């Protein structure tokens, strides 16, 4: 199944970027990506189950005073607004209907998408891959490794290639090359870049992109490692920073 997202209307929507360590949310004008509300950044407590996290999301939305379309970027596989996997949050999430839990705040205008796919939607509509022809691979570098493929904007959702086995080691690709791995193993940016280069070559062989977009908090070190990685495809840093996931989720919600 493929989805195609294009900007058609000027609209305000709330976007939520739900991750393994916390969530971020805000109200955006989706045509321009302008943030119109307070930017809420909330870390999870020790319990990342839905009974702990959802009330915090609800309270943050109420704090903004929002009632209207809501889009959520979720760290796992999503199908028809149903959570299929939640590797970084726990299996309890598979039993929860997030649309229903937030129903009084969106009145039926709700959408949910994989968090890495949400970043790719933002970059294609407003960022570094905007209106690019050919195949674009967007790599989100964070707690894990998110991967999204778009062919002239048409996207195959939920790829999650970062969870594939590493081509050489007895672990997943993201366990070795993610930003979390760098922090947990106290790697220098140079040592991490060596690992990432190997992973990037593997992803390029799998997907054969014309353009690769890199996104994530580690991009604050882009000037330090951009010269240490290379691919046949052109590499560009994402235009948007930490708001990209929430904005992409809001863009998808605006299509309802």
Per-residue pLDDT reduced to its tens digit, 200-238: 999 999 999 999 999 999 999 999 999 999 999 999 999
Q: What is the pLDDT of residue 80?
A: 95
pLDDT in tens, 24-35: 999 999 999 999
pLDDT in tens, 69-93: 999 999 999 999 999 999 989 999 9
15 closest CA partner among 142, 119, 170, 91? 119
CATH topology of domain 129-237: Nucleotidyltransferase; domain 5 (3.30.420)
Angstrom distance (rounded) from CA 188 to CA 94 = 37
Element containing residue 235 per DSSP (H, E): strand 234-237
Q: Residue 4 pLDDT more than 60?
A: no
User: Which CATH number does 3-117+243-253 carry?
Assistant: 3.30.420.40
In degrees and rounded to multiples of 5, residue 60 shows phi and psi of -65, -40
pLDDT in tens, 125-182: 999 999 889 999 999 999 899 999 999 989 989 999 999 999 999 999 999 999 999 9
Buried b (16+ CB within 10 A) or exposed e, 125-148: bbbbbeebeebbbbbbbbbbbbbb
**Which H, E and C letters describe 145-156, residue by residue?**
EEEEEEECCEEE
Q: 256 pLDDT band (50/70/90 cuts)?
A: confident
211 closest CA partner among 138, 146, 157, 162? 138
Q: Residue 3 pLDDT more than 60?
A: no
Parse the chain into domains and list their residue ranges. Answer: 3-117+243-253, 129-237
pTM: 0.92
Query: Is 42 within 8 Å of 64 (Cβ atoms)?
Result: no
Are 3-117+243-253 and 129-237 equal in CATH topology?
Answer: yes
């Amino acid at each position: 199944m493929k989805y195609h997202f294009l900007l058609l209307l000027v609209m305000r929507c709330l976007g939520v970027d739900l991750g393994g360590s916390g969530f971020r949310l805000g109200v955006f004008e989706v045509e321009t990506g302008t943030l119109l509300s307070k930017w809420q950044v909330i870390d999870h407590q020790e319990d990342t189950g839905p009974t702990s996290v959802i009330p915090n999301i609800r309270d943050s939305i109420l704090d903004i005073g929002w009632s209207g379309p809501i889009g959520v970027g979720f760290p796992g596989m999503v199908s028809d607004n149903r959570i299929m996997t939640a590797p970084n949050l726990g299996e309890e999430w598979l039993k929860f209907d997030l649309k229903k839990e937030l129903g009084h705040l969106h009145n039926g205008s709700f959408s949910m998408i994989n968090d890495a796919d949400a970043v790719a939607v933002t970059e294609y509509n407003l960022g570094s891959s905007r209106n690019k022809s050919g195949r674009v691979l967007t790599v989100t570098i964070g707690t894990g490794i998110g991967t999204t493929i778009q062919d002239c904007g048409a996207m195959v959702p939920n790829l999650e290639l970062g969870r594939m086995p590493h081509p050489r080691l007895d672990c997943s690709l993201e366990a070795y090359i993610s930003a979390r791995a760098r922090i947990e193993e106290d790697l220098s940016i140079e040592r991490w870049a060596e690992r990432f280069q190997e992973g990037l070559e593997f992803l390029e062989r799998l997907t054969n992109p014309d353009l690769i977009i890199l996104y994530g908090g580690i991009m604050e070190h882009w000037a330090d490692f951009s010269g240490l990685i290379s691919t046949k495809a052109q590499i560009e840093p994402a235009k948007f920073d930490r708001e990209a996931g929430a904005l992409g989720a809001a863009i998808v919600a605006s299509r309802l």
